[in-house]
C-alpha cells in the first residue's frame, strides 16, 4: 500500500472541494496530489500517512493546518492568495508555489497537527435547526432547554441569536445580529410567529472546542475553506455572539449525555444534533435512541421532549444522501421530515407538511 493510495484519496478530496464550491482547494489539492506522486515536499510532510483511510480526511487535515499558519500570520506569502486573510487567489501555479513553500519552511509545524481530525462547527446549519426549533415552540408553548450532541464549539446553541432571511422577504431573529443567514429557507417558512424562549444551552462533544479562546477560535476558522467567505463571515459572527451569550459545553459522548438527561416540568427539552451521527458506533446510536424513547415515555404536555436531527440520510435504499431535518416529539407523532438542507446549511427546502 502506498503512495498511489494517498494520491488517489487527495485527488478525490480535490474533486469534492470543487463540487462543494472551493476552486482554491480543488486546484491546490490537485497539485498536492501531483507533488506526492513526484516525491516532493508534500510527500515528505505526509510520510507515514500513506495508508490512512480515505474517511480520515488527511487532505483536509493538511489544508486546515496550513490555513491555520496563514491565519496566525506565519505564512504571509500564501496569505496574499487566501481570501480568508484578505488576499485574492492568483493563478493556480502561483498559489501552489506559495503553498509548497509553506510545506518546505514549516514541515514540523504541519506534521505536528496532521494527527488531529478536522474540527468544524458549521453555523449555516442553524438555518435548519432553528427552523425546527420554531416548530417545537409552536407546538409546546413554554421555555426551551437545549441539549446539543456533538456540539463542537457549541456555536449553534446560540441559534436564536442569529438572523434568518427568507427569499420571500420575511425574516426572523435580531436585525442587528452579527450572524445573518441569507436565503435560509425556501418554500414555506417555518412558523415564524412561534414564541421561542431558550432558557438553557448545553452542549456535549467528545472533543469540545472553547470558541472563547483564541486557540479554539483559530482551530474552528482554520478548517473552513479560505475561499468560502460566506461561511467564514457566519463563523466570525457566531464567535462574536458566543462571547456575549454563554452556553455550557462539556466533554462527554452523546450516549453519556442522554443517559444523565432528565425532563423538567414547565420546560420543553430539545435534544438536537447535526452531522455527527455518522461518527457514532451502532451500539451508541441504539443507546441514544433507546434513552430518548425511555424519556419520551415519561413526557407529558407539561414536560415534553423533542429530538431534532440534521443528518445525511438516504431517502431510499439506493438514493444519494440528503441532509434531512427530522423531528420527533413526545407526546406527539412519529418522526417527520421538516426539510432538506445543503451540507453547510442554507438554503433549506422546507416541506409543506413540516
Ligand atoms: C462534523 S462535526 C459537526 C459539529 C456540529 N454539530 C456542526 O454541525 O457543526 C462532528 C462532531 O461530532 C463530535 N463527535 C464525534 N463522536 C462523538 C460522540 N460519540 N459523542 C459526541 N460527539 C461526538 C466530534 O467531536 C465533532 O465535534
User: What pLDDT digit, counting tens, does each position of 287-332 carry?
Assistant: 999 999 999 999 999 999 999 999 999 988 889 999 999 999 999 8
Q: How far apart are CA 62 and CA 58, in angstroms?
A: 6
Q: What is the position in ligand 1's atom list of the atom closest to the CA of 122?
A: 9
Burial annotation 285-300 (CB, 10 A radius, 16+ → b, else e): eebbeebbeebbeebe
What is the distance in A from the centroid of ligand 1 to the CA of 147?
Answer: 13
Q: Report the half-sphere exposure of 86 (CA within 13 A, side-chain side).
A: 4
Distance from Cα 119 to the centre of ligand 1, integer Å: 8
The yes-or-no verdict on residue 117 having pLDDT over 90 is no
The rounded Å distance from CA 120 to ligand 1 centre is: 9
Confidence of residue 353 (pLDDT cuts 50, 70, 90): low
* Mutate which of 120, 124, 146, 152 for ligand 1 pocket (most atoms within 8 A of beta carbon): 152
pLDDT of residue 140: 96
Q: Judge whether residue 175 has pLDDT over 90.
A: yes
What single-letter DSSP state applies at residue 319?
S
| pLDDT value of position 50 | 85
The pLDDT of residue 118 is 87
Is pLDDT at 1 greater than 60 in this prediction? no
State yes or no: pLDDT of 238 exceeds 90: yes
The protein residue whose alpha carbon is closest to atom 14 in ligand 1 is 150
Q: Give the Cα separation of 136 and 304 in Å (integer).
A: 10
Say if residues 132 and 274 touch (Cβ distance below 8 Å): no
Residue 57 CA to ligand 1 centre (angstroms): 15
> What distances in angstroms separate CA 96 from CA 31, 69, 84, 107, one per listed residue?
7, 15, 17, 16
Q: Which three cell numbers stand for residue 298?
A: 415519561
Cell numbers 489539492 correspond to 29
Q: Look up residue 112 and give its three cell numbers.
A: 505536528
How many angstroms is it from 9 CA to the middle of ligand 1? Answer: 23
Q: Which of the pair, 193 or 56, is modelled with greater confidence?
A: 193
Which atom of ligand 1 sits closest to the CA of residue 254?
20
The ligand 1 atom nearest the CA atom of 207: 25
What is the per-residue pLDDT for 157?
Answer: 98
Q: Tell me: the pLDDT tens digits for 93-115?
A: 999 999 999 999 999 999 999 98
pLDDT of residue 52: 82
- Residue from 279, 281, 291 to probe ligand 1 pocket by mutation (most atoms less than 8 Å from CB): 279
Cell, residue 33: 496530489
Predicted local distance difference test score (pLDDT) of residue 314: 93
Q: Tell me, what's the pLDDT at 199?
A: 97
Contact 106, 158 (CB under 8 A): no
pLDDT the model gives residue 208: 96
Asked if residue 3 has pLDDT above 90, the reply is: no
Q: How far apart are CA 256 and CA 258, in angstroms?
A: 6
What residues line ligand 1, using a CB cutoff of 6 Å? 119-122, 125, 149-152, 205-207, 253-254, 274-276, 279-280, 284
Closest CA to 28 of 322, 226, 223, 253: 226
Indicate the SS3 state at residue 215: helix
* Atom 7 of ligand 1, residue of closest alpha carbon: 121
Amino acid at each position: 500500500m502506498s503512495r498511489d493510495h494517498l494520491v488517489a484519496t487527495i485527488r478525490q478530496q480535490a474533486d469534492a472541494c470543487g463540487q462543494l464550491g472551493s476552486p482554491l482547494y480543488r486546484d491546490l489539492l490537485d497539485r498536492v496530489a501531483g507533488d506526492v506522486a513526484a516525491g516532493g515536499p508534500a510527500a515528505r510532510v505526509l510520510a507515514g500517512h500513506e495508508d490512512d483511510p480515505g474517511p480520515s480526511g488527511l487532505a483536509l487535515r493538511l489544508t486546515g493546518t496550513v490555513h491555520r499558519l496563514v491565519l496566525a500570520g506565519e505564512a504571509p506569502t500564501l496569505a496574499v492568495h487566501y481570501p480568508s486573510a484578505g488576499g485574492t487567489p492568483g493563478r493556480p501555479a502561483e498559489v501552489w508555489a506559495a503553498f509548497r513553500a509553506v510545506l518546505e519552511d514549516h514541515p514540523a509545524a504541519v506534521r505536528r497537527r496532521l494527527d488531529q481530525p478536522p474540527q468544524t462547527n458549521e453555523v449555516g446549519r442553524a438555518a435548519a435547526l432553528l427552523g425546527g426549533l420554531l416548530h417545537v415552540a409552536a407546538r409546546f408553548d413554554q421555555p426551551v432547554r437545549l441539549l446539543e450532541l456533538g456540539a463542537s464549539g457549541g456555536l449553534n446553541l446560540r441559534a436564536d441569536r442569529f438572523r434568518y432571511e427568507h427569499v420571500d422577504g420575511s425574516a426572523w431573529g435580531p436585525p442587528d445580529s452579527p450572524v445573518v443567514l441569507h436565503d435560509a429557507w425556501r418554500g414555506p417558512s417555518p412558523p415564524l410567529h412561534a414564541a421561542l424562549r431558550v432558557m438553557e444551552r448545553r452542549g456535549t462533544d467528545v472533543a469540545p472546542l472553547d470558541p472563547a479562546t483564541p486557540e479554539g477560535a483559530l482551530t474552528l476558522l482554520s478548517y473552513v475553506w479560505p475561499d468560502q467567505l460566506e461561511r467564514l463571515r457566519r463563523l466570525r459572527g457566531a464567535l462574536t455572539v458566543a462571547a456575549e451569550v454563554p452556553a455550557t459545553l462539556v466533554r462527554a459522548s452523546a450516549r453519556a449525555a442522554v443517559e444523565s438527561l432528565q425532563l423538567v416540568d414547565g420546560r420543553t427539552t430539545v435534544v438536537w444534533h447535526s452531522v455527527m451521527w455518522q461518527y457514532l458506533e451502532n451500539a451508541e446510536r441504539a443507546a441514544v435512541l433507546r434513552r430518548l424513547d425511555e424519556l419520551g415515555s415519561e413526557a407529558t404536555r407539561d414536560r415534553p421532549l423533542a429530538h431534532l436531527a440534521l443528518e445525511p440520510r438516504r431517502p431510499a435504499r439506493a438514493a444519494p444522501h440528503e441532509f434531512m431535518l427530522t423531528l420527533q416529539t413526545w407526546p406527539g407523532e412519529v418522526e417527520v421530515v421538516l426539510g432538506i438542507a445543503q451540507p453547510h446549511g442554507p438554503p433549506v427546502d422546507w416541506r409543506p407538511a413540516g
